[in-house]
């Protein structure tokens, strides 16, 4: 089955700095990669996603890159703000089966004002 | 759009009680619903996947007689924790996904249920 590794587990940055979270996956059939943000005690919320036919996608301060050959994808947050502090999860989903997502272990992002 | 409602948000009950958690998709038809368990500072652990009108598929190590899942309609799935014990205390989150047509679709999560068994 699919295995998703996510790093780092904790990331501490100063307000205004950039933050990068990286994930690798093992199943070459995976072709959809969503990212979720979960604030303490709340639901995970989809913040951006990318499909395997695209190498990069950007939405304001958030961008995701995908390298299919290396089987890794990354979340980039620029000009971080304290409200970006949360746990971020990456996921990988393969088509052609039951489309069950495999989540990474999560990254706790702390943005210091 | 894509709102998922989960109730109750918090349950505190005595050991041996059965607890039912509801997950509803409010503005779309959820062909598939997922139930997760999340321990503090950990990732989402998939418990089971349910498709409307069929039996749920449980992940390895999850007791199907302990965690009963019903997905009787395209907008409602329920998880019943039977004879709950303190070790069942956790944060349970459901998610719902519409029909896969072209490519994959994201899941949409409920607010979660904090279950505390005394």
What is the DSSP code string of A9-39? SEEEEETT--EEEEEEE--TTEEEEEEEEE-
Q: Does the CB of B111 have a partner CB in chain A at under 8 Å?
A: yes
Q: Would the CB atoms of B103 and A31 count as touching at under 8 Å?
A: yes
Distance CA A82, CA A47 (A): 16
The more confidently predicted of residues B104 and B3 is B3
Average pLDDT over every residue of B60-84: 93
Q: Does the CB of B109 have a partner CB in chain A at under 8 Å?
A: yes
Whether residue B102 has pLDDT greater than 60: no
What band does B1 get if pLDDT is binned at 50, 70 and 90?
Answer: low
Minimum distance, in Å, between the CA of residue B12 and any CA atom of chain A? 16
A100 interaction partners in chain B (CB closer than 8 Å): 34, 46, 49
pLDDT reported for residue B103: 54
Q: Which residues pair with A37 in a beta bridge?
A: A45, A88
Minimum distance, in Å, between the CA of residue A90 and any CA atom of chain B? 10
Residue among A37, A8, A26 at smallest CA distance from A102: A26
pLDDT reported for residue A26: 94
The more confidently predicted of residues B11 and B101 is B11
Q: What is the DSSP letter of B59?
A: P
Distance CA A47, CA A91 (A): 12
Average pLDDT over every residue of B61-88: 93
pLDDT reported for residue A97: 61
Minimum distance, in Å, between the CA of residue A113 and any CA atom of chain B? 23
Q: Would the CB atoms of B112 and A32 count as touching at under 8 Å?
A: no
Q: Does the CB of B97 have a partner CB in chain A at under 8 Å?
A: yes
B93 interaction partners in chain A (CB closer than 8 Å): 43-44
3-class SS letters over A43-99: CEEEEEEEECCCCEEEECCEEEEEECCCCEEEEEECCCCHHHCEEEEEEEEECCCCC
Minimum distance, in Å, between the CA of residue A64 and any CA atom of chain B? 15
Q: Are strands B113-117 and B10-13 parallel, antiparallel or unpaired?
A: parallel
In chain A, the residue whose alpha carbon lies closest to the alpha carbon of B33 is: A100
B114 interaction partners in chain A (CB closer than 8 Å): 41
pLDDT tens string for chain A (113 positions)? Answer: 789 999 999 999 999 999 999 999 999 989 999 999 999 888 999 999 999 888 999 999 999 999 999 999 999 999 999 999 999 999 998 876 667 889 999 999 999 99
What band does B97 get if pLDDT is binned at 50, 70 and 90?
Answer: confident
pLDDT reported for residue B64: 92
pLDDT reported for residue A71: 95
């Amino acid at each position: 089955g699919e295995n998703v590794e996510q790093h780092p587990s904790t990331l501490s940055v100063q307000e205004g700095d950039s933050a990068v979270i990286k994930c690798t996956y093992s199943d070459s059939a995976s072709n959809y990669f969503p990212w979720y943000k979960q604030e303490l005690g709340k639901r995970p919320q989809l913040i951006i996603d990318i499909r395997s036919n695209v190498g990069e996608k950007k939405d304001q301060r958030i961008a995701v890159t995908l390298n299919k050959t290396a089987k890794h994808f990354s979340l980039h947050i620029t000009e971080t703000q304290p409200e970006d502090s949360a746990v971020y999860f990456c996921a990988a989903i393969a088509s052609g089966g039951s489309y069950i997502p495999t989540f990474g272990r999560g990254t706790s992002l702390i943005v210091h004002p | 759009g894509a709102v998922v409602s989960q109730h109750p948000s918090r349950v505190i009950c005595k050991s041996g009680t059965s607890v039912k958690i509801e997950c509803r998709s409010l503005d779309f038809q959820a062909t598939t619903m997922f139930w997760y368990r999340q321990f503090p500072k950990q990732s989402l652990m998939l418990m089971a996947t349910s498709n409307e009108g069929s039996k749920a598929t449980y992940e390895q190590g999850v007791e199907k007689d302990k965690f009963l899942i019903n997905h009787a309609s395209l907008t409602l799935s329920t998880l019943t924790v039977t004879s709950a014990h303190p070790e069942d205390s956790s944060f349970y989150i459901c998610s719902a996904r519409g029909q896969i047509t072209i490519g994959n679709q994201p899941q949409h999560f409920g607010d979660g249920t904090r279950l505390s068994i005394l």
